Structure 1
Amino acid sequence: MSFMKLKAISTLLTMINFINNNNKKSGQWWQSLHRTMLRGVLGKTFRLIGYTIQYGCIAHCAFEYVGGVLMCSGPSMEPTIQNSDIVFAENLSRHFYGIQRGDIVIAKSPSDPKSNICKRVIGLEGDKILTNSPSDFFKSHSYVPTGHVWLEGDNLQNSTDSRYYGPIPYGLIRGRIFFKVLFSG
């Protein structure tokens, strides 16, 4: 073979090698870009999920242990709290046994645990309560046992309360109302 043919073959091989190397680099660059974009999207997605879980936990703890906004429904607390009034309830009092006579509290209903009731604390554990039945024919004394409270609505003629289901376990109290936001009328 002549020198010129060898030179041409060498040049051709060099060009093929150059094209192959560039294609590999181009493919590697594309794969690198694809991996970087995928990492970015996955990273942002996982960060968003992490923040959502984190803030969800913070909100749950705030509503469970600090307090929240509630809407009271029903006529049992009229005229103090009207139907559909919005109130702030704090939950710290129940955790530190700070509930006192006269406080308006939110509690789980003893007859329907899925619903809440809004009532006034009339008696604490150890108190002797004079109860009136709705017909006012019978007056009797009830004692509030340890770990319980006696709850009644302000509208006695239209309230289902401790006069019907007896003393409420302290553990059913969810919070104490301290501020009424929205007034009916």
Structure 2
Amino acid sequence: MTLLKFVGKTCGFVGYVFQYACVTHCTFEYLGDFVMCSGPSMEPTLESNNILFTEHLSPRMQRLRRGDIVIAKSPSNPRQNICKRVTALPGDKVRGQFPRRSQVVPRGHVWLEGDNTSNSSDSRVYGPVPIGLVRSRVVCRVWPLDKISSLTEY
């Protein structure tokens, strides 16, 4: 095998690896990916270490609905992702921290709450969340295998 042939085959292989890496990156960045849920805020619906398949199109096209479970950047700690349920959309009236105090979810925001209301830091603490912080919508649980289920209908 000549040096020129070896270099040609190596460049071809590197090109294929680069192509597949680009396709994989675009798929996980723009279409969907897998996320591990941790913490007690979504119990009993989701438990710690559940692995979820999520899609990125609904938040980008602003097609979120009440009842959707979403993955978002935490408004109080941008290094952390949160898993919560959309309970109110722009224009909806929600009850704040104090029983007599209510507010309207502003345009471009959603109200997120954990299913475990007694153990969840959510919009009741930090208020409406900008839709731009919502990264993806949960489609289904894929792990553990005995609990595989669709999570798109509530």
TM-score scaled by length of structure 2: 0.87
1:107 CA displacement: 0.6
CA distance in 2, matches of 1:160, 1:44: 54
1:68 CA displacement: 1.3
CA distance in 2, matches of 1:56, 1:143: 44
1:169 CA displacement: 0.8
Aligned to 1:95: 60
Select the structure with the greater relative contact order (CA < 8 A; seq sep ≥ 6). Answer: 2
Q: Flag the structure with larger Rg.
A: 1
1:108 corresponds to 2:56: no
**Match for 1:179 among 133, 140, 144?**
140
Aligned to 1:148: 109
1:48 CA displacement: 2.1
TM-score scaled by length of structure 1: 0.73
CA distance in 1, matches of 2:34, 2:27: 11
Letter in 2 for 1:119: K
| Structure with more of its chain in helix, by fraction | 1
CA distance in 2, matches of 1:163, 1:49: 50
What per-residue deviation string (whole Å, max 9, x for no partner) do you get for residues 106-163 of structure 1? 11111222221100001111111013x3xxxx21212111111110100111111111
**Match for 2:122 among 124, 143, 161?**
161
How many pairs does the alignment contain?
A: 145
What per-residue deviation string (whole Å, max 9, x for no partner) do you get for residues 36-58 of structure 1? 62212211222222112211111
| Higher deviation after alignment, 84-93 or 41-50 | 41-50
Letter in 2 for 1:111: S
Aligned to 1:71: 36
